[in-house]
Amino acid sequence: MIVRSHDYVEYCRETATNLETLHDLALRGAGKQETTIAVNQHIVEEVALRASDDLIDIGCGDGTLLRLAAKVGVRNAIGYLATEEEATLVRATGLDVRQAYSDRLPAPDASASVVVCNNVLLIVPREKVLPSLREMHRVAVNAWIQESGVFDGVADFDAALRNPEIPTQMRAVDDCGDGLHPSDGGYRKMGDAIELALFA
């Protein structure tokens, strides 16, 4: 067992290999499940998580925040963990958890309305912290555009056409065949994404 490692990936892998309960992945210590739930409930409240949100949880631990997000009914919730060993364990509980590093997220630009990275940067090597922050910024939707109230409305065409299996692509049925332009049905979905009441 690694007691102290300068290689955070090996530390995470070792934790996954030797865990006694899934909660061990939260890295808070034995018997701290209530603390983990309380911390993540506080995050849900602070970010005002709601059904229209797309959540990315970087370093999702045992998946507590993803489970709370599911109770809220968010549109999409993805968790990332440093190793496939960890991701496999949490994915077995029915959550969408993938292996990725905080400085190289396999998510498209502006794909999340809420990005959470709770305590992860404490174990990420110093040289990876700034690239990790850049990645968080890259994947975050500009909340000001969507929520500031400055605009009468925002039509999210990406959300209307996005392939849930491959978020960087349109659904095949909505693609005209060139991977760039929508089909007639895709354009129809884009039109449906516009609130007509805005023009009344």
pLDDT at 200: 77
In a domain, 152, yes or no: no
Range of the domain at 193: 157-199
- The predicted model scores a pTM of 0.70
In a domain, 150, yes or no: no
Residues comprising the chain, all counted: 200
What domain count does the chain have? 2
15 with 103, same domain: the answer is yes
103 with 165, same domain: the answer is no
Residue 30 to residue 21: CA distance in whole angstroms? 9
The string of pLDDT tens digits covering residues 149-198 is: 667 888 888 888 888 887 668 899 999 988 888 999 999 999 998 988 88
DSSP lists the bridge partners of residue 116 as: 57
Q: Let me know: does 97 contact 85? Beta carbons within 8 Å.
A: no
Q: What is the CATH number of the domain that holds 75?
A: 3.40.50.150
84 with 168, same domain: the answer is no
Q: Which residues are CB-contacts of 103 (< 8 A; sequence separation ≥ 6)?
A: 124, 128, 131, 132, 134, 135
Residue 33 to residue 61: CA distance in whole angstroms? 12
Residue 98 to residue 72: CA distance in whole angstroms? 21
Q: Let me know: does 195 contact 153? Beta carbons within 8 Å.
A: yes
128 with 162, same domain: the answer is no
162 with 124, same domain: the answer is no
34 with 133, same domain: the answer is yes
102 with 191, same domain: the answer is no
Residue 94 to residue 136: CA distance in whole angstroms? 25
